[in-house]
Chains A and B, each alone.
Chain A
Amino acid sequence: MAIEKILKDDASEEKGERARMASFVGAIAITDLVKTTLGPKGMDKILQSTGRGNEVTVTNDGATILKSLHIDNPAAKVLIDISKVQDDEVGDGTTSVVVLAGELLREAEKLVAAKIHPMTIISGYRMAAECARNALLQRVVDNKENAEKFKSDLMKIAMTTLSSKILSQDKEHFAQLAVDAVMRLKGSTNLEAIQIIKKPGGSLKDSFLDEGFILDKKIGLGQPKRIENAKILVANTAMDTDKVKIYGARVRVDSMSKVAEIEGAEKEKMREKVKKILGHGINCFVNRQLIYNFPEELFADAGILAIEHADFDGIERLALVTGGEIASTFDNPESVKLGHCKLIEEIMIGEDKLIHFSGVEMGQACTIVLRGASHHVLDEAERSLHDALCVLSQTVNDTRVLLGGGWPEMVMAKEVDELARKTPGKKSHAIEAFSRALVAIPTIIADNAGLDSADLVAKLRAEHHKEGCNAGIDVISGSVGDMAELGISEAFKVKQAVLLSATEAAEMILRVDEIITCAPRKREDRM
């Protein structure tokens, strides 16, 4: 008698070896996809969206690539998820984490083929990951005390992060930009305060950091173009038709003259509101919502600069920069905190006019203006800069720093190898495999740079056998070099997150011995 069908019609079920194979294949396919973007000589990908206009994105950022993929393989989804988390949590290392998880699974596949139980592999991996983390902890450098040195550390980290991106040509310039911007935050990780404005035109080198604040808006007609010693009121209030919101009131009249009267009253109300605003003794008024022509005219008459429709983030940032508060009621002018700045003027970048606030009270926020040849370049530049900013802001909180260029992987691999030798039992195979997966990262970096990876990695391994070695791969000259001298550094927090989440993901996929796919939800046929 046939075995009863348990699942629904379109559902599928894969068991044991087949399930494991499906997840290995999926995960490794994803790894191979992003592998070529790793390292300073990594290549970019073109992504074409299926949406309207078939927009094209050119990128080197692992998280961006993976986010745009539509994938059906559940194991691959796990990898995409860890890359997304890495992006949210530390901002960089999104490619590395996927590659490491993929390499761990690739090694695990070999072990499973050699009839080692997945649970044994997992416990080996766990021991290895713990040991690798300790190895890194022993070798971290912490320059928290020494501000001068710490700043140079930040500089190095920024340059290392940027060197794999489109900005690598001007990495010193941008590293300086990023470090300056992050130092202004004074330890907060709120990157909202750093505004990035993209303006096509010019070259990447023309990008600059502005200490003040730039608002991408035009100044209203007939209003002053330049204000010194500005007193700014930042507001979030309706300046169109100020409705009466109470009790669901509405206007219902029976004659034309009444309409005119009420319109008059409304106008009067607006005029009063403007008067109240003027009562604050300001000369600049920034509103989050629309300002209609009528109040705008009133402002112009009073010689006040009125800016409408600044987006909410802009408002928040402006309030942060100028030290004012965001106001919505205007009855108590004496107690509302106004913002101050030395000078407001209209400036031109490329062909666009922008409003520039300089000499602001609190220097926490700042603006980076990116210039570049095309939108694609600018988008990618923004992503790269964002990565650098994220890493830097995290490093300011956790000041531990490591060398880069494959050095941490080699250090970990060496310690893990030691552990493998000491561990009895089948676990030692898994630990050895972990170290092989770690070494795969410098190998891929070298491969992507078109170097002889086998030779280089062997040399590197030999170098690392000495105590206190700083050797890593110098991609520029194509040889093994001293990373400390070359000034290639990475943040400890990034490396640790890569190591831990990659191990966690690999473990998760390894534990699976059955995949059940439910029948896809039936969509309404829209045809």
Chain B
Amino acid sequence: MALAFDEYGRPFIIVKEQEQKTRLRGIEAQKANISAGKAVARILRTSLGPKGMDKMLQSPDGDVTITNDGATILEQMDVDNQIAKLMVELSRSQDYEIGDGTTGVVVMAGALLEQAERLLERGIHPIRIAEGYEMASRIAVEHLDHIAQKFDFGPTNIEPLVQTCMTTLSSKIVNRCKRPLAEIAVKAVLSVADLERKDVNLDLIKVEGKVGGKLEDTELVYGITVDKDMSHPQMPKKIEDAKIAILTCPFEPPKPKTKHKVDIDTVEKFQTLRQQEQKYFDDMVQKCKDVGATLVICQWGFDDEANHLLMHRNLPAVRWVGGVELELIAIATGGRIVPRFQELTPEKLGRAGLVREKSFGTTKDKMLYIEHCANSRAVTIFIRGGNKMMIEETKRSIHDALCVARNLIRNNSIVYGGGSAEISCSIAVEAAADKYPGVEQYAIRAFADALDSVSIALAENSGLQPIETLSAVKSQQIKENNPHFGIDCNDVGTNDMREQNVFETLIGKQQQILLATQVVKMILKIDDVISPSDY
């Protein structure tokens, strides 16, 4: 195989240690790759759409995850195959970039690969297929621009945003109360959004969860929640108009960072050191008190004595607050993170209207709510639910909804969902195919078929007759020249997606098509797989 002959007919080896490697070449390699990609897509296919099913995943440590989110499924699946890993990457990049449509992108790529396989069998060169796909994807994306609609929203008119988030949430387990959750997501995004610059920093939205209660109890807190309680049990549980000192230095005896030690060899030294120590704690507390702080939030622990002094001087304090949370608190309260006691000044204090401790259930779980902050641009979504898996899944769903809302603020173009955009693109691509001379024409047609198959999967999952439904919708779209007809997954009675209020973001859809095409191109171009054989 990997033997070549030089001009004298002597064999020489190209691939080192070839005996220990397995190698696939040419059409074999392409077929193997395609079948691996298809296998991944097949797993996700049933999760697509509002009636899609969930997957239960058991991690190597035995933890159970139940989810409907494509990116999470693939990430947790722990795949071994190289091509399958590419598909995982694909869904992950959709997740990073857009946050939603992670299932759709993999199903789309799977459908493209399936079509490519047929073309390969007819003897079309993989590069020609790839080029055809590229052209087709360009047509589709342009067409999407064409059918996209802008819609208006503002801080007062959030209805369109809520509707879009509801479309995203309807495929998750939380669809029981999608309306309140969608509203929470939209309000959260709007309160941190910079509408001037059309930018949203999702880091400012913290999603916290605690088991217990019911999903309906999920709430949006205009402020920060911290999973900590006051350092001393007898400190006040509620502080109004708090001035917060945010510290990253511990209330502990100072330890020199360098290796040197103070040696005590005389009684005098011993006594001076002792006095210093006492004074040190006193100073620390006094400094906080002097600048007028009424609450201390610290990243590190407290010494017992310091803790008592704080309590004694009536200065409530919270210890061991994580770095990320500390930052959020600083942003929300408009305070500065202070690394040394000496640097405390009144201007560096954060302000919050209300800080309170809230306890949950029968165990002594406590959380600290910091509300009515000076700068209300950091919010927390606090999720409740029946069990741990539910909370995790809700977190993922909320994340998707947040991403969608953000994308809409960045770019307020939408397309209609329910497969209508895919069907419309498919018609456009099909029509354009005939204009291209050459073999690419076949690939472009195949691309249209692949677009159809996404809608078919949607119909299948909803328990409809897939082919029948698709052809009905397609003919309706062509007849009435209206790209808003899609698949009626929820059995509402109309398949006009505009009436059903099923939207998706334009960039999300475009990204799906582009990413899927890119990955498929990459897979098609591989004609040689060399891997170390099992030993």
Contact = CB atoms under 8 A, between A and B. Distances in A.
Contact of A394 (B303, B305, B362, B386): B362
Interface string A1-34: 1011111110101000001000100000000000
Interface stretch (A372-380, A415-423, A507-515): A507-515
B255 interface: yes
B78 A328 contact: no
A interface majority secondary structure: mixed
Interface in A115-145: 117-119, 126
B155 interface: no
B213 interface: yes
A85 B309 contact: no
Contacts of A81: 387-389
A200 B271 CA distance: 50
Contacts of B281: 329
B176 interface: yes
A126 B298 CA distance: 45
Interface stretch (B49-57, B118-126, B199-207): B49-57
Contacts of B212: 85, 88-89
B305 A328 contact: yes
Given A85-B386, A237-B305, A336-B312, A265 B267 contact: yes
Interface residues of B, number: 86
A390 B64 CA distance: 29
Contacts of A248: 255-256, 261-262
Which residue of A7, A78, A246, A251 has the most chain B CB atoms within 10 A of its CB atom? Answer: A246
Contacts of B273: 244, 246-247, 249
Interface stretch (A45-53, A224-232, A252-260): A252-260
Contact of A82 (B51, B173, B386): B386
Nearest to A319: B234
A261 B312 contact: no
A221 interface: no
B42 to A, nearest CB: 9
Contact of B61 (A23, A82, A249, A521): A521
Contacts of A1: 28, 31-32, 35
A518 B55 contact: no
Contacts of A90: 361-362
Nearest to A126: B176
Contacts of B463: 117, 119
B362 A244 contact: no
Interface string B51-87: 1011111111110101010000100111111011000
B60 A246 contact: no
Given A78-B64, A329-B308, A252 B263 contact: yes
A89 B213 contact: yes
A190 interface: yes
B362 A511 contact: no
Nearest to A12: B58
A246 B272 CA distance: 11
Given A6-B36, A249-B261, A269 B308 contact: no
A56 to B, nearest CB: 25
A518 B57 contact: yes
A526 interface: no
A350 interface: no
Interface string B266-307: 110011011011101100000000000000000000011111
Interface string A479-521: 0000000000000000000001100110110011111111111
Nearest to B215: A504
B390 interface: yes
Contacts of B77: 7, 516, 518
A69 to B, nearest CB: 13
Contacts of A251: 263-265, 270
Contacts of B362: 87-91, 189, 191, 390, 393-394
Interface string A293-312: 00000000000000000000
Contact of B56 (A89, A394, A514): A514
Interface in B225-248: 232-234
A320 B277 CA distance: 30
B367 interface: no
B382 to A, nearest CB: 15
Given A258-B266, A328-B309, A332-B312, A7 B80 contact: yes
B78 A11 contact: yes
A336 B46 CA distance: 67
B52 to A, nearest CB: 9
Nearest to A87: B362
Contact of B308 (A72, A250, A326, A511): A326
B150 interface: no
B262 A236 contact: no
B386 A249 contact: no
B267 A514 contact: no
A88 B387 contact: no
- Contact-residue bracket for chain A: 35 or more
Nearest to B267: A265
Given A7-B79, A7-B80, A504-B386, A518 B311 contact: no
B43 interface: yes
Given A514-B43, A516-B56, A6 B80 contact: yes
Nearest to B461: A119
Q: Counting chain B CB atoms within 10 Å of each CB, which of A91, A191, A245, A258 scores highest? A: A245
B253 interface: yes
Contacts of A518: 57-60, 76-78
A89 B361 contact: yes
B39 interface: yes
Contact of A316 (B36, B233, B254): B233
A78 B389 CA distance: 8
A244 B43 contact: no
B524 to A, nearest CB: 16
Given A82-B387, A90-B361, A262-B267, A512 B78 contact: no
B378 interface: no
A513 B173 CA distance: 14
Nearest to A83: B387
A326 B233 contact: yes
Contact of B255 (A77, A78, A247, A520): A247
A126 B31 CA distance: 45
Interface in B129-173: 173
Contacts of B262: 247-250
Contacts of A266: 270
Indicate the member of B253, B387, B389 with the most A CB atoms within 10 Å.
Answer: B387
Interface in A290-349: 316, 319-320, 325-329, 331-332, 335-336
A74 interface: yes
Contacts of A206: none
Nearest to B31: A1
Contact of B64 (A19, A74, A520): A74
A132 B273 CA distance: 70
20 contacts: A3-B39, A6-B81, A89-B213, A192-B364, A236-B308, A244-B277, A246-B253, A247-B256, A250-B262, A319-B234, A328-B309, A504-B390, A505-B386, A514-B46, A514-B55, A515-B55, A516-B55, A516-B58, A516-B76, A518-B59
Given A8-B79, A191-B362, 11 more contacts: A3-B35, A78-B66, A89-B362, A254-B265, A262-B267, A327-B312, A328-B304, A336-B312, A500-B214, A514-B55, A517-B58
Interface of B: 28, 31-32, 35-36, 39-40, 43, 46, 51, 53-62, 64, 66, 68, 73, 76-81, 83-84, 173, 176, 211-215, 232-234, 252-256, 261-267, 270-271, 273-274, 276-278, 280-281, 303-309, 311-312, 359-365, 385-390, 463
Interface of A: 1, 3-9, 11, 13, 19, 23, 72, 74-75, 77-78, 81-82, 85, 87-91, 117-119, 126, 189-192, 236-238, 244-254, 258, 261-262, 264-266, 269, 316, 319-320, 325-329, 331-332, 335-336, 390, 393-394, 500-501, 504-505, 507-508, 511-521
